[in-house]
Chains A and B, each alone.
Chain A
Amino acid sequence: DTGVSQDPRHKITKRGQNVTFRCDPISEHNRLYWYRQTLGQGPEFLTYFQNEAQLEKSRLLSDRFSAERPKGSFSTLEIQRTEQGDSAMYLCASSPGRDQYFGPGTRLLVL
């Protein structure tokens, strides 16, 4: 399977804990996006990488959130001191141009 993969698929954590998600994009795609989707809503943009450079961060991305894409390959999204409002589906997408291809997402539940 050469699609976008994300790990873990599900994460349950307690408020205040740190969590980290991983995204492996389609190998030849140099553009990588993170989105967040809450129940009954469309995905909302969080951040964008071109190769290893993080070029845009949404205002939704508070200072508790950090994302990296070392060497322009896989990407990680870390949430520190999780809050119940962080509960959502975190989606990664990669793109060779305009079309964006999404992974299966990581469902986060903060108790």
Chain B
Amino acid sequence: QQQVKQSPQSLIVQKGGISIINCAYENTAFDYFPWYQQFPGKGPALLIAIRPDVSEKKEGRFTISFNKSAKQFSLHIMDSQPGDSATYFCAASTYSGGSNYKLTFGKGTLLTVNP
């Protein structure tokens, strides 16, 4: 059972455009939703994270929108640049005991930003 569903699988955007990646979750106990950026051969890098008590969080060109009732959240990358070309993962976590907040990841979205 896939607990975090991510779409699209791949996305091509022109430089300067807006990239939008969507995720949906099933477990209502999830209470922390980070996004990670991963370049080939590298580990995932934390971009931005949100908790369900807010509907939107913005950091620079990256914005998370959160819809608790629909159990959906999305990443918006404004003014997309070729350097943003990478794989993006959404994730979710809840408390699992012993201060354990293991992450459940989506399958990833390969973003290509054309110059």
Mark A residues whose CB is within 8 Å of B.
4, 6, 31, 33, 35, 40-45, 48, 50, 53, 55-56, 91, 95, 97-105, 107
Contacts and interface: CB of A to CB of B under 8 A. Distances in A.
Contact of A40 (B41, B91, B107): B107
B100 A42 contact: no
Interface stretch (B11-19, B43-51, B68-76): B43-51
24 contacts: A31-B99, A40-B107, A40-B108, A42-B4, A42-B108, A48-B96, A48-B100, A48-B102, A53-B98, A55-B97, A55-B98, A55-B100, A56-B96, A56-B102, A91-B43, A97-B101, A98-B32, A100-B34, A100-B101, A100-B103, A102-B43, A102-B45, A102-B46, A103-B43
A8 B39 CA distance: 19
Interface of B: 4, 6, 32, 34, 36, 41-46, 49, 89, 91, 93, 96-108
A55 B32 CA distance: 20
Contacts, number: 72
